[in-house]
Amino acid sequence: MKYETRILTILFLLLAGLQLWAQEDSTKIRLINADEQIFSKEFGDIQRLIGHVAFVHQGTYLYCDSAHMQNDQSFFDGYRNVRIIANDSVTIYADQLHYDTQSKIADLRTNVRLVSHHSTLYTDELFYDRTTGIAYYLKGGKIVDTTNVLTSRKAYYYTSGEYAFFKDSVVLTNPNYKMFSDTLRYAPNEKLSNFYGPTFIYSKENTIYCENGWYNSAYDRAQFNRDAYLISGNSTLRGDSLFYDRQRDYGEAFDNVSLLDTVKNMLIEGETAYLYNKEGYAFVTDQALASMIDRDDTLFLHADTLFVEFDSTQSARLLTAYYKARFFREDIQGFTDSLVYSIQDSVMHLYHKPLMWSGDNQLSSDSMLLVIAHGEMDSITLFQHATIISVDDSTLKTYNQIQGNTIVGHFHDNEMTRMDVLGNAKSIYFLRDEADSSLIGINVTEAKYFKIYIHNRKIKGISNFGQVEGKIFPWGKMKKEDMRIKGFFWKEKLRPGSKSELFDDKKYAD
């Protein structure tokens, strides 16, 4: 029994000694090779190693041409052709090295290179922490792969995962663009950049800004967030988030979207936008609103979808609004299924039985063409089943009416001054005394065509052409149905009264 106890005690002491030796040994570096090993009093506690010097510390191999090693093996300084094999995929080179076994930090200086399978990092001062596997520089450097060159003031390279964080004055140079950022995470094996803080990307095609996002240079695809915008020619696309495919020159924007044309003074807003730069068009949906600023007035246009076509300078030339399009300006309002606005010559085409209001007049027809010159209405043409109606007396529900195959209205200072009624022209007009506005009678005129002259929103004269039939009926001597043109309707309730009413879907439900 005593013999067994003695054996167990000896084994315990041996194991404890081995553990203590292992703990002590872990703080020391082991010399594997040196062509020449010199001990001298002038070196003190330092021994000099020359030629094919190789060390190992806890599985990490370090090489150099010559070295000075502390006799207690707690640190060494290596010179020329320094090399550290960090892992299977990362090797670090330098001209000088100081390695401390306590901190496990290698301080590499002059012509430092960190080489991985996918990239090479260059700097003149690099620290490599073996405990964390992080190599970092604090005084400037760059990383180069097959397509990109990335420079910064500071960088942290994670050797275990082959990715790096760059900080302070970050610049990524690619053959197709140049990126400036505050902080950037880069994975060379994936060609993936994640950026944080104010970031600009410049290229021949566009300029991009954001404060958060990613860019995959292998596929030329990117996501931009936080105050993101993309400038292409004269157009600027903004959104809470942007997606961009550089190869297709295609972009998407989501939430608080705006598309601005600085030349044409046009702003389109919505919640979703799609930009096809190569094809030369974009469209905006979800609460889409176009604002066209001209002089001191702005035309607001809303529809389910707004479609914009661009010219070669990326300036808007054509705007199409379809499905429940309605617009508002102080002097003109409208409602229609779809319209096309030629921005270059300020011509608006309205389709599918549009309604328009100007002053006291309601205008309707199968289609319309509105010309705006120098910010003011110049003319409007109503095609097929053309009618212009205004209220004579809201209590009596009497209306002044003009009808024809085609009606051309002419404007001055945004007031209609003349109407040309062409083909099957007919007018029903309530005559009133200028002194007291008392009703004199009802003038019903039919002709091949006629011209109507207007002043201060009142008819001042009519010129009839072709065979004319005209008669004045006393009030009360005319049937109610005869006081209205064929197909008469009054839709004042659909008239947009403000910019906000353009979004009132209940108002236009019918």
- Cα separation, 387 vs 254, whole angstroms: 42
Q: Which of 167, 189, 217 is the last residue of a domain?
A: 167
Residue 491 has pLDDT above 70, yes or no: yes
Q: Tell me the CA distances in angstroms from 320 to 12, 343, 368, one per residue in order.
A: 89, 10, 14
Q: What CATH number corresponds to the domain at position 87?
A: 2.60.450.10
Residue 390 included in any domain: yes
Residue 113 included in any domain: yes
Note the pLDDT tens digit of each residue in 38-84: 886 666 678 899 999 999 998 899 999 999 988 777 788 999 999 99
Length of the chain: 510
- Select from 289, 213, 302 the least CA-distant residue to 257: 289
Residue 283 included in any domain: no
- Cα separation, 220 vs 185, whole angstroms: 17
Q: Which of 148, 167, 186 is the last residue of a domain?
A: 167
Q: Which of 167, 197, 227 is the last residue of a domain?
A: 167
Note the pLDDT tens digit of each residue in 424-457: 999 998 988 878 888 889 999 999 988 888 887 7
Note the pLDDT tens digit of each residue in 27-47: 678 889 999 998 866 666 788
- By CB atoms closer than 10 A (0-12, 13-18, 19+), residue 501 is middle
CB neighbourhood size of 160 (10 A):
12
Note the pLDDT tens digit of each residue in 335-360: 999 999 998 888 999 999 999 998 88
Q: Tell me the sheet residues that pair with 443.
A: 429, 472
- Tokens coding 368: 């319309």
Note the pLDDT tens digit of each residue in 244-274: 998 898 989 999 999 998 888 899 999 999 9
Residue 415 included in any domain: yes
- Tell me how many domains the chain contains: 2
- Cα separation, 281 vs 31, whole angstroms: 69
CB neighbourhood size of 84 (10 A):
25
- Helix or strand or coil: residue 395? coil
Residue 451 included in any domain: yes
- What is the pTM assigned to this prediction? 0.78
Q: What is the DSSP letter of 474?
A: P
- Residue 356 — φ and ψ, nearest 5°? -140, 150
Mean pLDDT score across all residues of the chain: 87
- Helix or strand or coil: residue 366? coil
**Angle 272-289-376 (CA atoms, 0-180°, nearest 5)?**
150
CB neighbourhood size of 253 (10 A):
28
Q: What is the DSSP letter of 368?
A: E
Give 19's pLDDT tier (boundaries 50, 70, 90).
very low
Residue 267 included in any domain: no
Residue 46 included in any domain: yes
- Cα separation, 121 vs 436, whole angstroms: 92
| Residue 435, domain extent | 360-498
Residue 32 included in any domain: yes
